[in-house]
Structure 1
Amino acid sequence: MNTQSSATTTALPPPLATFSGQNDGAPLTRVLLAYFESRFKLYLRFGEPVRVVRFDRWRRVAVFPLGAIVCRIRWQANDYGTVRWQLMVMQAGLPRDVMQRIPGVQPGARLLLHTEGDHAVRTVLACIDAIEALGIAPVTVSPAYWRTLANRLAAGFPLPEYTTERHAAWLAGRTLS
């Protein structure tokens, strides 16, 4: 029994682990991903993991550095069709930062956007597609835009466009601070 538990422990890096390719020693955020055909999918829409740990053909963990922005989609179905569709855009943080506890995300993350339901998820996916059509990687988009998008979606207001001008202003502000 001890050999089995130690194998499980070594397969999954601890929440505050660092990998040899990471030079600053900052802790990493782990995001659980899963796939059970025709029933359950927990996958990334965008995000740039530093490593992916594969447990078996159905489960894996993507590991992200501090500040990384990630979009994870959860889809569930039963014999009659889709029962849950959820989209989350989150940002990895330090354990001492204010973060939400999100199932399958350790130690947690700042939740920038959370939406559920077919229409809402499709609307956000269309916004992501529009951002990519501009040649902008969604991981580089301003966290404030994701929060604004979430608030507008929840309030039923028109959704803001993410433009190249807005992106240039975000990048310029980042370099100044």
Structure 2
Amino acid sequence: MSRARLNGVESHRTLVDLTWREKRIEHRIRFGHIVETHILDRYRRVVGFDSGSIFCYVRWAANEHGTVISRIDIVRAVPDGEAYQTLPFVRPGGDILLRISGWPQVQRVLAAIDAIEMLDLDPAEIAPEHWRHLNHRISVNEPFRVYSRDQHRAWLKRRS
């Protein structure tokens, strides 16, 4: 199993490269519990997540003709020794719960995240199955179930 490396040092965390150049390239974390941050320069930084934590990674880029890429990924950081899927700018990779591209679909995911936050719930703490459900339904342009407090209570009971 390969581990993520930062400045030649092995890390047991999942590392995500972020870049922010206004209106050109915007890679950002929408939600998740960042446990370490390394500023590389004015435009770039690397953030780390502990294994088991869930985070949302938004990537957008444009050129003089308009948007080139619009993508949102919701990922669970995996512990050492567990299988993972690779993802650009995420080292070593993670358990991809949701992977959507195209601005209209990305907007639907962002609206679903906003709805979860309106319930005063942390999107990083909700049932991973909900993100998979959202991924499947949005990717085929179908309506999806809205996450509820009852669903969250059931998830917390299953988890404990």
Give me the TM-score of the superposition, normalised by structure 2: 0.92
Deviation at residue 147 of structure 1 after TM alignment: 0.4
Q: Distance in 2 between matches of 1:106 and 1:13?
A: 13
Instruction: Tell me: higher relative CO, structure 1 or 2? Use CA pairs within 8 A at least 6 residues apart.
Output: 2
CA-to-partner distance for each residue in 1:136-172, whole Å, 9 max, x for gaps?
0100011110001101112222111100000010011
Answering whether residue 18 of structure 2 is matched by residue 43 of structure 1, we say: no
Select the residue among 81, 85, 88 that pairs with 1:96.
Answer: 81
Deviation at residue 126 of structure 1 after TM alignment: 0.3
Match of 1:113 in 2: 98
Q: Distance in 1 between matches of 2:54 and 2:8?
A: 21
Number of aligned positions between the proteins = 156
CA-to-partner distance for each residue in 1:89-143, whole Å, 9 max, x for gaps?
0000024212111111111100000001110000000000000000001000111
Answering whether residue 61 of structure 2 is matched by residue 67 of structure 1, we say: no
Question: What are the residue-to-residue correspondences of 1:105-144 with 2, within 5 Å?
Answer: 105-144=90-129
RMSD: 1.4
Whichever of the two has the greater Rg, that structure is 1
Question: What are the residue-to-residue correspondences of 1:74-85 with 2, within 5 Å?
Answer: 74-85=59-70
Q: Distance in 2 between matches of 1:111 and 1:61?
A: 19
The sequence identity of aligned pairs, in percent, is 37
Greater per-residue helix proportion: 1
Alignment-mate amino acid for residue 54 of structure 2? I
Question: What are the residue-to-residue correspondences of 1:7-46 with 2, within 5 Å?
Answer: 11=7, 13-14=9-10, 17=11, 27-46=12-31
Match of 1:5 in 2: none
The question of whether the paired residues in 1 share the 8 Å contact of 2:14 and 2:49 is answered with: yes
Runs of 4+ displaced beyond 3 Å:
9-13
Give me the TM-score of the superposition, normalised by structure 1: 0.84
Gap runs ≥5 in structure 1: 1-8, 18-26
The question of whether the paired residues in 1 share the 8 Å contact of 2:100 and 2:135 is answered with: yes
Q: Distance in 2 between matches of 1:141 and 1:99?
A: 20
Q: 1:68 to 1:12 in 2, by over 3 A?
A: farther
